[in-house]
Amino acid sequence: MNQHNTSFLDRADRPRLVYHHRRASDTRATAPTLVFLPGYASDMTGTKALALDSWAQAQGLAMLRFDYAGCGASGGDFEKQGLADWRDDVLTLVDTVVDGPVLLIGSSMGGWLALLVALARPARVAGIVGIAAAPDFTMWGFSQEEKMAILTEGRLEKPSEYGPEPMVTTRKFWQQGEGNRVLIGEIGIDCPVRLIQGQNDPDVPWQYALETQKQLRSGDVQLLLIKDGDHRLSRDSDIALLLQKVGNLVEVLAA
């Protein structure tokens, strides 16, 4: 990780955010800034985020990656954050750190946030790439018993497939998620969208990628299904596909 470009955004009313922002080379000034949105309880040092950053640097493209409040190196208590709080973290960074159009690249929950950010900033978001995007997962990602436990006890712990710590879902996160569902009607987004989804994903049933594609108002939506793809989509072949899709979209947007 390039330590020299670690930056901090202090805020009066919200925890400090830690981010890495690299500007474009002069020859790529017309291209949008790539903004990587990690998944739930993830951070900006994951395989996909670092692969994208290295590729973007080699291409001379601007890139922003960061940790949501309560995650990674950013300040704050994870269990005090909700989906809308993290959406607002993204909006704050896009509004204050980045100039010009952005291409949002969202992994899992980050794909849901990308849709919410595009709805909030239609003039800034030039395109979206969703990787195993998980919009509305507070609705479909929990059993009725789990939802009741979240609401009555205030939090739910589940064993995590992706680390030693249990996955914690709080009432605040769940309620903010339910208040920001996007698949209940047309998603009023008109920019190009690329969705990459594994059909062997145990966390996000691939049918939700079809539903997202259907509900998006944009006519320029492409869905790439990877038959043996899992949720992480972090294999070398998956990363190569991601970089290819991002690269193609950047060329369209920068033309």
Catalytic residue among 107, 108, 136, 238: 108
How far apart CA 140 and CA 136 sit, in angstroms, is 7
The tally of CA atoms less than 13 A away on the side-chain side of residue 164 is 0
Report CA-CA distances (Å) from 101 to 25, 28, 123.
15, 13, 8
| Cβ atoms within 10 Å of 21's Cβ, excluding its own | 17
Whether residue 42 lies in the annotated active site: no
- For residue 8, the SS3 value is strand
Sequence-ordered list of residues with C-beta below 8 angstroms from that of 52, at least 6 positions apart, any chain? 34, 36, 63, 65, 105, 242, 243, 246
Whether residue 108 lies in the annotated active site: yes
Catalytic residue among 67, 85, 201, 238: 201
Pairing of strands 125-131, 102-107: parallel
**Cβ(90)–Cβ(117) under 8 Å?**
yes
DSSP sequence for 223-235: EEEETT--SS--S
Whether residue 4 lies in the annotated active site: no
Catalytic residue among 20, 42, 136, 231: 231
- For residue 80, the SS3 value is helix
In eight-state DSSP terms, residue 187 is B
Catalytic residues: 108, 201, 231
